[in-house]
A = this chain, B = another copy of it.
């Protein structure tokens, strides 16, 4: 049993949180490591389970711990931060953050448009589209499965190196992206998605729909991104809309 050095006047759960935070900061509890159970912590520090629970809640709020459904509580791994304020490519964003972007090309094919393609790419039912699937890495960690759909006139992409940044490849063909829309929700990893992203099947992931248009408002692509939220955080900096005060 490792007793806490009990400070008078500071609630025990804060003391336990401080102790565990210290262990995380000093690397005694390591990134992605599963921490002991509530029962084990309660025995080890000679505190009630309610105290343990409150301490773990604090550290979870601070994003130092991550609770996973039915699995346990883990020390949060290093998260890569993506700023959503501007329409910046994945690679550009990584570089701006001082991180190393990476891409693994998975597949490219010509397929019949789905209804969502018809809607977002402004094409006719039954038309063919270009579908490109890539796995995106940040500092060699797989963080996002990206599937982009392009109108068929973008078939020139199929002869390009799709491990390279797509925005640059498009720019080399005089396709300049100007505006975009993103929509964020939750999905659950399929077997294949789990394998590519190194997570468990059915684990909750962020789902981001993504559309992009050129300066004339013509759709360039419609995409779906499956994101490992344990590894990748989206942030936004906002200003008050003057009209909405």
CB distance from A84 to the nearest CB of B (A): 6
User: Is A67's beta carbon under 8 Å from chain B?
Assistant: yes
Q: Given A69-B202, A202-B70, are A84 and B238 also a contact pair (CB < 8 Å)?
A: yes
Q: Using a CB-CB cutoff of 8 Å, which residues 199-245 of chain A contact chain B? A: 202, 204-206, 224, 229, 233-241, 244-245
Q: How many copies does the complex hold?
A: 2
Complex Cα distance, B187 from A69, in Å, reads: 9
Task: Looking at the assembled complex, report how far the CB atom of A127 sits from the nearest CB atom of chain B, in whole angstroms.
Answer: 13
Please measure, in the bound complex, the distance between the C-alpha atom of A39 and the C-alpha atom of B238, giving whole angstroms: 48
- Interface: A14 (CB within 8 A): yes
Residues of chain B with a CB closer than 8 A to A87's CB: 238-241
Q: Is A185 part of the contact surface with B, judged by Cβ < 8 Å? A: yes
Q: Using an 8 Å CB-CB cutoff, how does the interface string of A112-128 with B read, 1 for contact, 0 for none?
A: 10111000000000000
Given contacts A21-B115, A86-B244, A112-B14, contact A238 B185 (CB under 8 A): no
Please name all residues of chain B whose beta carbon is closer than 8 Å to the beta carbon of A233 when the two chains form the complex: 183-185
Q: Which of A30-38, A138-146, A171-179 lies on the face that meets chain B?
A: A171-179
Determine whether A88 belongs to the interface, using a CB cutoff of 8 Å to chain B.
yes
Give the chain B neighbours of A185 by CB distance below 8 A.
63, 206, 229, 233-234
12 contacts between A and B (CB under 8 A): A14-B112, A63-B185, A69-B202, A85-B241, A86-B240, A87-B240, A88-B241, A179-B238, A179-B239, A184-B234, A184-B235, A185-B233
3 pairs of A and B residues whose beta carbons are closest in the complex: A204-B204, A86-B241, A87-B238
